């Protein structure tokens, strides 16, 4: 039974229950302006009690988030993922301080996200809010709170800080390809890796661990099922439980179509005598830094000025070529190994905007001819 008590001009409600060990627990709340409001809260707690969704705990919001992500989200993930959750925790600590989770209101949380959005780009804002929202949903299921204060939140962000994805135009890709092929021999492993990402759009980590067994020369396909984990310096299968689900998922396992020209180029590497393609005769694999050094060398040779452009940027270039040549977004998403088209659309929003402008001009030209 609930216990109601008037204290001065306000009301206090208190409920009790027995936990799994038979120990009596209490939960109370005060400050209700009317007895009806106090009874309403008490009745909600009685219902929660019957559903085993009640707790007498009321942790500090930021500390609850920290315990939540360290328990459920970051074990076995990359350092990048761990750091992302740590940054969110630091932001929550700075804004909410020692505020208990039961005291967080939708208005207060909206104010937090408004301030956060002023200095962050769209993708970061959505990821941060998504992580916090998931933790709050778990807090509700644990009986810590009854109201989801993250619902119906308006998200804003700083467009000026959004980084436009850099990529080469088609002419620059042709120049780079021709230059990389000029005088190429199996000793120049980095050149082969750069050519592979241009032709396939594979992730650098996927290229690093590619084997001859993964290539079907008869059907001109490459089976991608694993990647290199740079944090732990080991190969991770996409079907493994060890996979960092924040950045990769089972959708990353895929078979992509390639052309015969690339396969003919890669076949030259067989004389190095390794099961993995990109291992030189000395048994070493070029690091990302080494591949980037080679890329910068050829950019200088071709007078291509792309500050900050790196190995992974050629994956974006591959996408740009496909988009501007009319390949549909669904096919590109599957080729990249994204879990869904939304990830592809959000990642390449800048390119899609450029493509829309190009299409708009085509539409106007067509209408002018009517």
User: Residues near 265 by Cβ (< 8 Å), separated by ≥ 6?
Assistant: 181, 184, 192, 195
Q: Under DSSP, is residue 286 helix (H, G, I), strand (E, B) or coil? A: coil
Confidence at residue 339, expressed as pLDDT on a 0 to 100 scale: 86
Question: 121-139, pLDDT tens digit by residue?
Answer: 888 999 999 999 999 999 8
Is residue 314 predicted with pLDDT exceeding 90? yes
pLDDT band for position 31 (cuts 50, 70, 90)? confident
Confidence at residue 4, expressed as pLDDT on a 0 to 100 scale: 87
Confidence at residue 332, expressed as pLDDT on a 0 to 100 scale: 92
Tell me the backbone φ, ψ of residue 310, rounded to 5 degrees.
-145, -175
Name the CATH architecture for the domain at 170-363: Orthogonal Bundle (1.10)
Is residue 71 predicted with pLDDT exceeding 80? yes
Q: Report the mean per-residue pLDDT for the chain.
A: 86
Cβ contact 348:321 at 8 Å: no
Q: What length is written for the chain?
A: 370
pTM, 2 dp: 0.67
Confidence at residue 289, expressed as pLDDT on a 0 to 100 scale: 92
How large is the average pLDDT for residues 250-279? 92
Cβ contact 188:195 at 8 Å: no
CATH topology of domain 61-161: DNA polymerase; domain 1 (1.10.150)
pLDDT band for position 65 (cuts 50, 70, 90)? very high
Question: 223-235, pLDDT tens digit by residue?
Answer: 999 998 877 778 8
Question: 165-190, pLDDT tens digit by residue?
Answer: 788 888 999 999 999 999 999 999 99
- Cα separation, 12 vs 27, whole angstroms: 11
Confidence at residue 99, expressed as pLDDT on a 0 to 100 scale: 94
Residue 136 CB burial class (10 angstroms; 0-12, 13-18, ≥19) = buried
């Amino acid at each position: 039974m609930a216990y109601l008590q008037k204290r001065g001009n306000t009301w206090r409600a208190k409920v009790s229950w027995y936990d799994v060990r038979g120990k009596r627990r209490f939960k109370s709340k005060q400050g209700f302006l009317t007895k009806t409001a106090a009874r309403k809260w008490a009745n909600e707690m009685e219902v929660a009690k019957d559903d085993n969704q009640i707790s007498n705990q009321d942790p500090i919001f930021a500390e609850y988030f920290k315990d939540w992500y360290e328990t459920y989200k970051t074990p076995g993930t990359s350092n990048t993922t761990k750091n992302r959750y740590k940054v969110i925790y630091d932001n929550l600590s700075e804004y909410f301080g020692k505020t208990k989770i039961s005291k967080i209101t939708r208005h207060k949380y909206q104010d937090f996200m408004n301030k956060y959005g002023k200095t962050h780009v769209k993708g970061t804002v959505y990821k941060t809010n998504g992580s916090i929202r998931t933790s709050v949903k778990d807090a509700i299921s644990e009986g810590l709170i009854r109201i989801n204060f993250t619902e119906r939140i308006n998200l804003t962000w700083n467009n000026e800080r959004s980084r436009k994805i850099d990529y080469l135009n088609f002419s620059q890709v042709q120049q780079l390809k021709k230059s990389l092929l000029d005088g190429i021999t199996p000793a120049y492993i980095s050149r082969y890796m750069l050519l592979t990402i241009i032709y396939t759009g594979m992730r650098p980590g996927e290229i690093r661990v590619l084997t001859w067994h993964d290539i079907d020369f008869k059907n001109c396909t490459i089976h991608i099922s694993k990647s290199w984990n740079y944090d732990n310096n080991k190969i991770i299968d996409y079907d493994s439980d060890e996979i960092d689900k924040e950045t990769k998922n089972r959708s990353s396992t895929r078979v992509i179509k390639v052309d015969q020209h690339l396969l003919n180029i890669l076949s030259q590497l067989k004389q190095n005598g390794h099961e993995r393609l990109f291992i030189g005769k000395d048994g070493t694999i070029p690091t990302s830094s080494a591949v980037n050094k080679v890329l910068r060398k050829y950019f200088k040779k071709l007078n291509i000025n792309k500050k900050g452009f790196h190995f992974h940027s050629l994956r974006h270039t591959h996408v740009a070529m496909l988009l501007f040549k009319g390949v549909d977004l669904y096919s590109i998403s599957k080729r990249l190994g994204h879990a869904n088209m939304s990830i592809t659309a959000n990642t390449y929003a800048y390119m899609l905007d450029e493509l829309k402008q190009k299409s708009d001009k085509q539409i106007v030209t067509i209408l002018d001819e009517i």
